[in-house]
Amino acid sequence: MAKNKTNFKCTNCAQISMKWVGCCPACNEWNSFVESTPSFATTFLSSGPAKMGSAASFAAVQAATPLFNFKDINTETQARMLSGIKEWDRVLGGGILPGSFIILTGDPGIGKSTLLLQVADKIAHDYKVIYFSSEESLQQVKNRANRLGFESSKLLFSDQANLESILSTCSNSKPDLVILDSIQNCHLSLDSQAIPGTIGQLRESGFLLMRFAKENNIAVLITGHITKDGQMAGPKVLEHMVDAVFYLQGEDRWQTRILRSVKNRFGTINEVGFFEMQEDGLAEITNINKHLLSEASETPGSALVCCVEGSRPILLELQALCITSKFGMPQRVVTGLDPKRVVLIAAILEKYLHIRFSTQDIFFKVSGGFKIKESSTDLGIALALLSSYFQLPLPQKSVSIAEISLTGQVKPTNQIGICVKEAEKFGLAHVLVARNQQVKTDCKLLSFTNVYELLQLFPEEGQ
Ligand code: TYD
Ligand code: MG
C-alpha cells in the first residue's frame, strides 16, 4: 500500500500541492498553504488504484458497502413539513421534506433570518425544530421574535457556531428540522487552520451537513449570503451539494421580497413567492397582481403583458419612451429585460412599418423592478414602443400575449390559458393575441396576423 506522504493544502480553497507554495495557483491567496495528511480519496485519485495495491488494501481502509435491488429499496413517501405560510410552502414544492438539505441565500439584510424565524415558529407547532443562530446573539434573536410576536414559540435556540458541537447536539436531541443561520459563520474545530467562511471550510461543512441530513433523516436548512457583486463563491460551492436552493431577492420600489427556487430535487424550479417586509416581519402577498395593477397606467407608452413565473401568471406593465435623438448614436436604456430584445423588436417595426426607431432614443422598463425573459412579451414590447411613438394609448384594460417572428408575423404562445384566466379575474377587457391562437375567454379578443395590423390600434397616426 502507498505510504501516506504529507502534502500541502490551501486553507482558502482546499487546493492540494505536493510541495509548499507561497501563492495558491487556484485562488491566488498568499501564504495560505499548510501541511496536511492526504485523505484516502486524495491518495487514491492522485496515485491511481494500481499503485494503491490489491483489492485487499481497499478492504483494509474501508468496509464494503451493501448493494440493493430496486425491489428492496423503500420508496415510501414521507409527509412534508408545512408551515402554513402558503408562499413559502408552495415555493418549497409543498413544504420541507424530511432529510432534505436546503440553502436559502440572498443579500445581507434582505430578510433571510426574519423569514426563517417565522417559518420555524410555524413548523415548531407540529415538529421539533432547533434554530442555531451563529450570527446573532440569543438576545438579538429574542428581540426579533418579540417583534414578530411569538414569545410562546416552541422553537429551541442556540448561538453555537461550532459545527461539530451543533451536529452532536442534533444527534442527541433528534429534531425534525435544523436551521443554521448562517453557514458562513460556522466553523470546524478539526480544521482549525481554516478561517470560517473560506471556500475550503464551506465545502467541508456542507459535506458534513449533507451526510448528517441523509443519515439521520433530519432536514437541514442553512442560510448563506452573497456579496453585492455576487462574487461570494461560498454558496455556489454549496449549490452542488444541497437538494434545493432558494434565493430571497428584493425589489427597489416597494418593500417586496421575492422567494425564488432555482434548484429543487423535490419540487419544481422557477417557482416564486411574494412577501412584503412590514414592521412585524414578512407578510405574504397572495395577490401580487392586484398590487401590480394598482400601479399600472393607461397612458401612451404603457402596455400590459402576462409572464408565467413557476405556476403563477404575473401581470406586468411595460413602459416605453421614444423620443427623437439629438445625437448621432441614439440611446437605448433598458431595465428589466435584455436590451437586445427591445432593439430587435424596434428593428422589426422599422423594417416592416418604416417607422424610424433608429433615429429615436428608446427608454424602456418593466414595472415593479421585475425581470422578464418570456418571448410571449414580444407583442407587448412592440405595442409599448408604438404607443409611445404615436403618443396614443392602447385600448383600455388590455393585455398583450404573443410572440413576434423576425419576418414580422405575430405568433401564438403556449401557457395562454393561465394568462387569460388571470386577465378575466382582474376584469381586463381586451386580450391582444395572434390570429391563430387557440384560446377560450370571456374577454374581447383582438387578434393580429402580422405587425402591419398593429397600426389599426393607432388609427389617427398609423393609417
Ligand atoms: P434580516 O432578516 O436580519 O436579514 P438577513 O438575515 O437576510 O441578513 O432582515 C433585516 C432587515 O429587515 C432589517 O433591515 C430590519 C428589517 N425588518 C423589518 O423591517 N421588520 C421586521 O419585523 C424585522 C424582523 C426586520
Ligand atoms: Mg440574518
Query: Of 286, 309, 329, which one is at a domain's C-terminal end?
Result: 286
132 and 264 co-located in one domain: yes
294 and 209 co-located in one domain: no
77 within a domain of the structure (yes/no): no
Q: How far is the CA of 228 from the centre of ligand 1 (A)?
A: 17
Question: What residue has cell string 421614444?
Answer: 322
Closest C-alpha residue for ligand 1 atom 21: 281
51-110 residue pLDDT tens: 545 555 555 556 788 888 888 887 767 789 999 999 999 999 999 999 999 999 988 888
Q: How far is the CA of 44 from the centre of ligand 1 (A)?
A: 47
Query: Of 232, 261, 286, which one is at a domain's C-terminal end?
Result: 286
79 within a domain of the structure (yes/no): no
194 and 338 co-located in one domain: no
130 and 27 co-located in one domain: no
69 within a domain of the structure (yes/no): no
57 and 197 co-located in one domain: no
Q: How far is the CA of 225 from the centre of ligand 1 (A)?
A: 14
C-beta of 149 in contact with ligand 1 (< 6 A): no
221 and 357 co-located in one domain: no
Residue 428: closest CA among 416, 414, 444: 444
Question: What is the number of the ligand closest to the CA of 118?
Answer: 1
Q: How many domains does the chain have?
A: 3
C-beta of 112 in contact with ligand 1 (< 6 A): yes
379 and 335 co-located in one domain: yes
237 within a domain of the structure (yes/no): yes
CB environment 302-338: b (16+ within 10 A), e (fewer) = bbbbbbbbbebbbbbbbbbbbeeeeeeebebebebbe
Domain containing 37 equals: 7-63
Q: How far is the CA of 225 from the centre of ligand 2 (A)?
A: 9
Amino acid identity for residue 24 in this structure: C
Would you write out the chain's pLDDT as a tens digit for each of its 463 residues? Answer: 445 567 888 877 778 888 888 888 887 888 888 887 765 555 555 555 455 455 555 555 567 888 888 888 877 677 899 999 999 999 999 999 999 999 999 888 889 999 999 999 999 999 999 999 988 999 999 999 998 888 667 899 999 999 999 999 999 999 999 999 988 888 887 655 666 667 777 888 889 999 999 999 999 999 987 766 554 556 677 888 899 999 998 865 567 888 988 889 988 877 888 898 888 899 998 888 887 888 788 899 999 999 987 778 889 999 999 999 998 889 999 998 999 999 999 999 999 999 999 999 999 999 877 788 889 999 999 999 999 999 999 999 999 999 999 999 999 998 899 999 989 988 899 999 999 999 988 899 999 999 999 999 998 754 4
Per DSSP, helices labelled H in 62-110 are 86-91
- Return the percent helix, strand and coil in the chain, to nearest 5: 35, 25, 40
* E strand or H helix at 117: helix 112-123
**Ligand 1 atom closest to the CA of 181, numbered from 1:** 6
C-beta of 109 in contact with ligand 1 (< 6 A): yes
97 and 117 co-located in one domain: yes
Test site for ligand 1: of 135, 277, 280, most ligand atoms within 8 A of the Cβ = 277
363 and 455 co-located in one domain: yes
342 within a domain of the structure (yes/no): yes
262 within a domain of the structure (yes/no): yes
Question: What is the number of the ligand closest to the CA of 117?
Answer: 1
Query: What grid cell was written down for 384?
Result: 409599448
The CATH number of the domain holding residue 149 is: 3.40.50.300
2 within a domain of the structure (yes/no): no
7-61 residue pLDDT tens: 888 877 778 888 888 888 887 888 888 887 765 555 555 555 455 455 555 555 5
Q: How far is the CA of 141 from the centre of ligand 1 (A)?
A: 11
155 and 266 co-located in one domain: yes
CA gap 327, 314 in Å, rounded:
37
355 and 269 co-located in one domain: no
423 within a domain of the structure (yes/no): yes
Question: What is the number of the ligand closest to the CA of 280?
Answer: 1
281 and 294 co-located in one domain: no
The CATH number of the domain holding residue 350 is: 3.30.230.10
Query: Of 286, 310, 333, which one is at a domain's C-terminal end?
Result: 286
CA distances from residue 191 to 32, 162, 258 in whole angstroms, order as listed: 13, 11, 37
